[in-house]
Chains A and B, each alone.
Chain A
Amino acid sequence: MNTKHLFLSTALLGAFASSAYSQSNTTGAVQGAVVDSKTGEKLPGVTVIATSPSLAQAQTAITDENGGYKITDLPPGDYLITFYYADITLERGGVNVGVNKVTPVFQKLNQAQAGGEVVKITDTAPTIDPTSTTQGITIDKNYIKNIPVPGRTFESALGAAAGSQGDQLGVSFSGSSSLENQYYVDGVNTTGLTFGTVGSPVINDFIEEIEVITGGYNAEYGRATGGVVNVVTKSGSNEFKGSVFAYFQPGALTAAAERTPNNASSIDATGDLAYYADFGFELGGPIIKDKLWFFVGVAPQVSKVDITRTTKRQTDCRKLEASGNLSTCDARLQAMGGNADSVPDVDPKTGFYITDTLDEEVRSRSARALSFLGKINYAATPENQGQLAIQAQPGQSESPGIYGPATSGSKLSGLTTDISTKWTSKFNDNKTEIEAVIGWHREKISDDPYDPSQADKPLQVLYDGSLGVWGPGFGAESNATNEGCRDLPPGMSDPYPLLANNCPMDTAPYVIGGPGSISNDLQQRRAAKLSVTQRMKAGGSHEIKAGIDVEDNTSNTARLYSGGAFIQNYVGSDLIRVNRWVQLLGKMGSPQVMGNTDPRYDNRCSTPDTSGQTMGNIQYVCDYITGDLGAPGTEVSGNTLNWSVYLRDSWQIQPNLTLNAGVRYEEQRLRYAEFLRGQVDPLTNETLGKNAMTMTGMLAPRVGILYDWTKEGRSKIYAHWGRFYESIPMRINDRSFGGEVNFQQDFAPSQCGAPDPRIGGPIGNARNGEGCLTDPNAVGAQERLIGASGVLIAPGIKPQYMDEIIGGFEYEILDDLKIGVSFQNRRMGRVIEDVSTDNADTYIIANPGEWSSDEEEKLMDRIDRVDPANLDEKARLTRQLNLFKGIRIFDKPRRDYNALQFTMTRRFSKKLYVQGSYTFSKTEGNYPGLISYDNGQVDPNISSQYDLIELLANRVGPLPQDRPHYIKLDGYYTFDLKKAGNITVGTRLRALSGVPINALGGHYLYGGNESFLLPRGQIGRTDFEHSLDLRLIYARNLGKNMQLEFFVDLHNIYNRQGTAGVDDNFAPQFKLSAPNSTSGTEQNANPVSGGTYQDLIWVKTIDNRGNESAVPIGKNPNFRNTTGRYSPLNANFGMRLNF
């Protein structure tokens, strides 16, 4: 489904979106066996006790007849494991337990040892979890503290995982898009409800540990086809511990961001951080020792980014000299010995226009937020414990308009709240464990106009005109800019009088008016989960876990444009396109219309009849959705119900051989907006029930096997296969199940009132698009309802899933040093996307490329059973049958990820920590995932990727997340300065392949960047990029329990501002006009299947009605130029007082 002007607003929303879903994966375990050191005899009855500052009360286990034991529910941290056998006591310290990890602690015990002696073992426990096939990384608080991660919240550390990379909305793992991840904070799922983004960006100082699972996850985990991120925050203990911290990133210590000049605009914008600062405290301790603990953390954050707007003017004063260099500027006419020739000067080396800088203005984006975390832990007994956690994140931001008046910006405010309770009980000598979690999540976001006076103005974007007209017209530019852009005859103040347009604004828009799409959204998730774990003996030892969870998600979102419309004004082409959200009552003359008494349905919406039943247009009675929020049609309520059950067994056949097998079953019920239920859809004539789409049969088996050839937990060779289902984010509820209909009208300027000199145009007769709105029933030269026949659900639609195979080994080649090699294959099995088999008239949410013959027969039977006299119903169903059959001609979505990973981890010991990885991977196919990276659309499962058959060509190739080579190396070393304290040096190296470059064109219905003119990646790839970060920490003890730290970060120390993205738009949807004319026309183009770059010279244009012509397409002057760069060298510093 295509509504691209929603993109910007959705991206903003994503920054504040969050969600909650409870699942406890906040602890780890130790497991092992105790044997006699001389005879190898297995020793039953050994008491094993785990103690740690992280642990409220000691946890105990008794070895079984095989000498085996396992202690679970251990919060992450360093432990002392004590073994008591007869009168022998063995203590083994430094055992690190990670989230969702089993640390092997195998112990040999000398029964001849003298009684009463306490033996302290300094040998470290292995770091390899011999019971798990999960791939990923555990990031502890020391990593976060000592490695220069590029941010202050947990997402900034996720890039440490092999096979991960940043995408536009988060961090993606193993070839998936970031919206396919699930994020848990303290067992609560904080994955964004609307899109699947990070919901609650916890500040690093509150974090105890992060577990990043990039593949091979067990049956406890579901609803993800990307990665799973488990964040465990700090908790209170029997000691009062905490810190006060401050972090500051001044703009003065940030290198200037390199400009990315746009050859199709007279405004360049470059963002430089002015400052970022946060400060706060975190404190944990006992309320009642051994019973009740608290943790609280508060951290306000402020930031400001200065956007430098540089206005520029093309020049006409240089010529090429015999030396091959350009001359100096001489703006006199050629007849007078100068170089003016009426053609703008171009740098022959770069292809960029040579410009004069007219003025620079700084507009600032500012943000304020607060992170709050409160937690109470209660231990009734060591076996019965509970937790109550509250997390809140209020925030506000202000963003002025950049490419136009500042007043076109917006102000955003949001509040995310998570509340969760968890209870864990152990019975039966700890062999049985029950855990219950209840969570509630609420996220609220709203926006206001940057300038209240613009609240009722429509957002209008102007294309292909002159800054020399728009600048003074709308009063948003300085005198220097306005004067510099004036086009005057020779002899006056214009230095380049032969240039018809000194300051062209070509394909980059100039934005005026109000904020556009209005947000006032509230999403909530109420979740409950119960799991039971049973350990038992039967042919080895089993740990069987079964669980169930339910979540009820609701969404209330706004659907309103400021001023009631969004306007695209193609000044150079004499076309004004008005987009509105409308609510349809029914076709003219239909029973719904005839019986209507609601006065708000006083508009008409016309659209071409593509059914062939009439030669002209179909007229609907409709309501233009406008007014204030709360007015009818301006709010949409959605609802999705998810539930799942799972059962898995971790069967330790031998102490060094484990078989993990599990199965998970999920269902998802996506419901129509409440106001639609029980209604007859005026488009499809379907009676809408409660559930729009019911996803059942999501049976996800998982199986893995591991073998530890060292029998000490120092190795594992493993393999895993699993199936993973997607959880559809709620964006689809808002758009597809909320009755959204977009009405698009193309007006000739003459239909929109008198010429507006502020807009001018090449020959001065352009109109302001607001004039098109004056008459509420004005008829456009061309009109179209997008989705004019509504949204259908393909009968028998099946859930989206991915299959994964992993194989590899890990080996601790030296104490503290492990290496690993693994292969990972991920393959999409099925995808849910909307398709249109009748030229964007009807959208069908379907599995592209497949529709079962059983469903076809069922529908044919239904048609046969229709009363022969009911011709309308028969025709309706027959039409649907033909539409559904068309689903099969669409290409099946494909995304294949194959990766070979080499990892190395040297855990912290002897003052040194190192971890690194090299990943060689390919991510190919025609389906990037839930983000349409190519056109920026964020509409999971209803993107435009599969909407039209002609848009599918050339989509197969290296996907946007394809980075064949990725090297990561992190480490830190601590220098002990004795009494003077210590210094820690941390580094972070990243080196990675560039991204594939495409050549995109416009589609006459869908707009720019929708048509893959050439096969994906045909244009090549951006440069290989690399950067190095450095952190220096000086720490000094101020007393027994107090330490003061100062630290400095240097990111991108050699200031390589490499290319992060380029302009892929080869042919803008509207061809530029020649100077002093309105010759620009719509120039869409179909793909050149299997073509090469050379072929683009010959591609012909398609007009705004889909007709091909003999005219060749134009070119975007900015094609393949850099649009985004990696951050420049920057320094930031901070302090922390630990106590």
Chain B
Amino acid sequence: MRETFTTPGDTSTSSRRIFAFGTHPDAIDVEQHSTQSAALSNNGFRIIMDELLVGNNLEEIACRSNVDGDAYSRVPLGATPDDIAKCATAQDVLPSTCKGIYATCMRELDGGCTVGTTMIPKGGPVGVDDKNQDGAADDTHLIAGSVGIRCGTVNVPIDINMSYWNPSGNQQPPAMGGFEALGPAIVLIPERGLPSNLDCSLFFAEDVVDKQNVRVCAPPNGDPDAECTPGDTANVKFKTEPMTFQSVTVTNNATGISRTEPIVFVSNTVLDPMAISGITVTAGGAAFTNFTVVLTMGKVLTLTPTGTGFPPNAAIVVTLTANIKDGFAQPLPTPFVVNFMTGP
């Protein structure tokens, strides 16, 4: 995963790849220290396993039509690529080839459905989506809820289309592809970042097991030789960085600032548009209310003075308060204050 960090003497923040849990012999020092503060966005998690998991409980394959709630179907345990190929064949022979306990993409909903010009009854095969007719599924996605990130009490939404299970890769020192080629691995991509300022951990559904039917667990310090209780992943924990505003168009304590130019605040996370409140402005110590605040692109707060703008040559104080919350209802932990002097 990635973390946000600052270098002593430098107020700007940067992000870098880190081993948030465990280490790797080839990781350089900065990559394998304890997490400082996990970045809230643009963060993908590569969870490197020390043995193979049963992929059928982690991913579904794409079918030619809805089979249950969507057009993705679980693959029966024990099914092989040959079974997939039998269900990826032409629609007219599908009833003959796609059958038995390893058949996949079977219509589960009442009422049947139509694939092309063929009516598929409930229980019939709709076929694996295989546009290039190579006998393999064109697409797979992560089963919702199979693996997740929990921060506080928040279950972080996962982008199941971008997240995946990959049984391939190796755990030798990285060659081609570096650490991103290590595997087997689960790659988790949060759909809209992480909630701010919370302790987080990973969780796995009960049926996410290895080939011996043992649940995933996390040994202390990520030591693969250490024991852990199946299902116990408490050792994987990290704290997300608190909400803050990475940039403001007005430098604190600046002078001669335009009275009418908007002030733009950029957050380090996506904000809840329904929780943009409690923003106060004072001009020369008096409350100033002639302004509007607009949230754009999820992270960009634009405060625009209305009318004639801020008073001239006034000391302006803009305060963003804990009323502002991120998309997971986590508040700004401490008020964010900007002071400046307007020009004439």
Contacts and interface: CB of A to CB of B under 8 A. Distances in A.
A669 interface: no
Contacts, number: 186
Contacts of B92: 318-320, 339, 341, 343, 345
Nearest to A1090: B52
Contacts of B56: 1094
Contacts of A1086: 168-170, 177, 181, 183
A320 B89 CA distance: 12
Contact of A950 (B79, B135, B166, B172): B172
A571 to B, nearest CB: 14
A1004 interface: yes
A1087 B90 contact: no
Given A343-B91, A953-B170, A1086-B168, A1110 B187 contact: yes
Nearest to A1089: B170
Contacts of A319: 92-93
Interface string A819-863: 000000000000000000001100000000000000000000000
Contact of A1095 (B96, B167, B172): B167
A1098 B59 contact: yes
B172 A320 contact: no
B203 interface: no
Interface residues of A, number: 66
Contacts of B55: 1094-1095, 1097-1098
Nearest to A1084: B176
A348 B93 contact: yes
Given A1074-B131, A1095-B55, A948 B80 contact: no
Contact of A1107 (B58, B81, B84, B180): B180
B340 interface: no
A370 to B, nearest CB: 49
Interface string B54-98: 011011010000000000000100111110111001111111110
Interface string A1108-1119: 101111111101
Contacts of B90: 341, 343-346
Interface stretch (B35-43, B156-164, B245-253): B156-164
A324 B96 contact: yes
B137 interface: yes
A1096 interface: yes
Interface in A909-949: 948-949
B184 interface: yes
Given A348-B96, A1110-B163, A1115-B134, A1099 B139 contact: no
B28 to A, nearest CB: 12
A1004 B187 CA distance: 21
A1108 B181 contact: yes
Interface string A1099-1128: 110100011101111111101000000000
A351 interface: yes
A889 interface: yes
A1091 B134 contact: no
A87 to B, nearest CB: 82
B117 interface: yes
A239 B95 CA distance: 79
Interface centre among B86, B92, B181, B187 (most CB of A within 10 A): B92
A1097 B161 contact: no
B172 A952 contact: yes
Given A1072-B133, A1107-B177, A1095 B52 contact: yes
A696 interface: no
Given A345-B90, A346-B90, A1095-B52, A1108 B134 contact: no
Contacts of B141: 1110
A174 B75 CA distance: 44
Contacts of B19: none
Interface in A943-975: 948-950, 952-953
B165 interface: yes
B117 A334 contact: yes
Given A344-B90, A949-B173, A1091-B52, A1071 B164 contact: no
B140 interface: yes
A1106 B181 contact: yes
A273 interface: no
Contacts of A952: 172
A839 B172 contact: no
Interface string A1074-1097: 110001100001111111111111
B135 A1097 contact: no
Contacts of A334: 117
B116 interface: yes
B271 to A, nearest CB: 28
Nearest to B46: A1108
Given A326-B93, A952-B172, A1111 B133 contact: no
A1072 B187 contact: no
Given A343-B90, A1089-B169, A1108-B169, 12 more contacts: A345-B92, A506-B134, A839-B176, A950-B170, A950-B175, A1072-B132, A1074-B131, A1085-B168, A1089-B171, A1097-B79, A1106-B176, A1110-B162
What are the nearest 4 A-B pairs in CB distance?
A1098-B55, A319-B92, A1115-B136, A1074-B131
Interface of B: 51-52, 55-56, 58-59, 61, 75, 78-82, 84-86, 89-97, 116-118, 131-141, 161-173, 175-177, 180-181, 183-184, 187, 211
Interface of A: 318-320, 324, 326, 334-335, 339, 341-346, 348, 351, 506, 839-840, 889, 948-950, 952-953, 1003-1005, 1013, 1066, 1071-1075, 1079-1080, 1085-1100, 1102, 1106-1108, 1110-1117, 1119
12 contacts: A319-B93, A949-B173, A950-B170, A1005-B176, A1086-B170, A1097-B140, A1098-B59, A1098-B165, A1099-B166, A1114-B132, A1114-B134, A1117-B135
